[in-house]
Amino acid sequence: MPKLTAALMISIAIVAFAGAAQAQLFGAPQPRNPNTIPDNLDPAMCDQMAAIPNAPMTPEACRSMIGMAQGMKTSGSDPSAMRAGDESMSCDQINTEMRSVATPMVSAETGAQARTAADAQMALMQKQQAETQGFVAGQMAMGVGAAALGMVPGGGYAAMAAQQAMMAQQQAFAQKQIQEAAPVRAQTSQALTATTTEMTQGMRENPRFARLMNMSVEKSCPPPPDMADPRR
């Protein structure tokens, strides 16, 4: 895993997660600049998120992401991280300096854990998408059949039974996918917790890098093309 990629990809995920979670759980308005991290993120939202059916992550991973978001802002605001002309830097200039000042922030073990979790998440997504396409096609066929039954004299009861069977299948299919996703979500949450914890410490030790990360996010800079794959 390159030194730079993990930082960029996770920081972007934190910004998206932070704004969406705050708005959804507390009805709070989005910040004026959607690419800034809210100052008043409350870790209590993580416990509320855990109560959501099929929650996207564990409370521990959620709190770790919030901690990293706050740590990135705090470290990046350190006077030692500031340079004259920062505000006028282009994305290319930011990325170039990030390469030059970057230090390893994720251990080899944690990087491997993150790659394994990412591979498992991708495999699950592809599998469930394929299953969903097949299931939807079958449901459409059953729906056409049920509608045809309803048009036949005396076929109303059979059509109703077919519709009830479709509903039961839909519930069973949804429950199957949720149960199948649970261990992968847990694996991803563990990897997130480990990665964000190490990166929070790394940015505390390298405040200039945290400053550049903040600037990259605020300017919506794309990751460098040679480091766009977070699993490399």
pLDDT mean by block of 10 residues, the chain; 232 residues? 43 48 45 52 77 79 84 89 94 90 86 87 90 82 62 61 77 87 88 88 91 87 59 40
Task: Answer yes or no: is 168 within a domain.
Answer: yes
Q: What is the pTM assigned to this prediction?
A: 0.65
Tokens found for residue 158: 């059979």
The reported pLDDT for the residue numbered 26 is 42
Task: Answer yes or no: is 196 within a domain.
Answer: yes
Overall number of domains in the chain: 1
The answer for residues whose C-beta is within 8 angstroms of residue 104's C-beta and 6 or more apart is 3, 202
Burial state string for 112-135 with b = 16 or more CB within 10 A and e = fewer than 16:
ebbeebbebbeebeeebeeeeeeb
Task: Answer yes or no: is 124 within a domain.
Answer: yes
Domain that holds residue 47: 3-227
How many CB atoms sit inside 10 A of residue 52's CB? 10
Task: Answer yes or no: is 80 within a domain.
Answer: yes
Task: Answer yes or no: is 232 within a domain.
Answer: no
* Amino acid occupying residue 138: G
Tell me, letter by letter, the H, E, C secondary structure of 194-205: HHHHHHHHHHHH
